[in-house]
Amino acid sequence: MERDLNCWEYMRCGREPGGIHAEQLGICSASINERFESVHGGKKAGRTCWVVSGTFGKKNVECSFARKYKNCGICDFYKMVLTEEGEYVWPATYLLGILEGAEHKLLSEASRE
């Protein structure tokens, strides 16, 4: 199997920008989330999809991290990334901290305006 596939390439969901299902199902948030660009060698959040809200989990859009992470634990793509990255995989708690920090920064900037 080719290394550094993004989740939309592996899952063939077609929900990336310009994908065959993007118009019908919407663009997946992992394919446009820039906070995780290049993490685990992926494009946008393509290799950290398990921490991004609004991504596909089987056939349902997952929203909360807690519910999503439980489902991601059985996902073949998630398991593949963990195997490929080995000891270099970024812990979910660290990735969530990046999201929280970015959201906190955006809220702080908005409150100053």
Instruction: Decide if 1 is inside a domain.
Output: no
Q: How many domains does the chain have?
A: 1
- Per-residue model confidence as pLDDT tens digits over 45-83: 999 998 888 786 555 555 455 566 677 878 899 999 999
Instruction: Decide if 22 is inside a domain.
Output: yes
pLDDT of 95 over the 50 cut: yes
User: In sequence order, which residues have a C-beta less than 8 Å from that of residue 42 and are 6 or more positions away?
Assistant: 4, 6, 36, 48
Q: Rounded mean pLDDT of the chain?
A: 81
Instruction: Decide if 105 is inside a domain.
Output: yes
Ordered DSSP codes for 30-78 = GGT-GGGTTGGG-STTTT-GGGSTT-EETTEE--SHHHHHHHHTT-HHH
Domain carrying residue 59: 7-112
The structure tokens listed for 88 are: 């270099």
Give the model's pLDDT for residue 90.
92
Q: Helix count (H) and strand count (E) of the chain?
A: 5, 2
Give the model's pLDDT for residue 1.
46
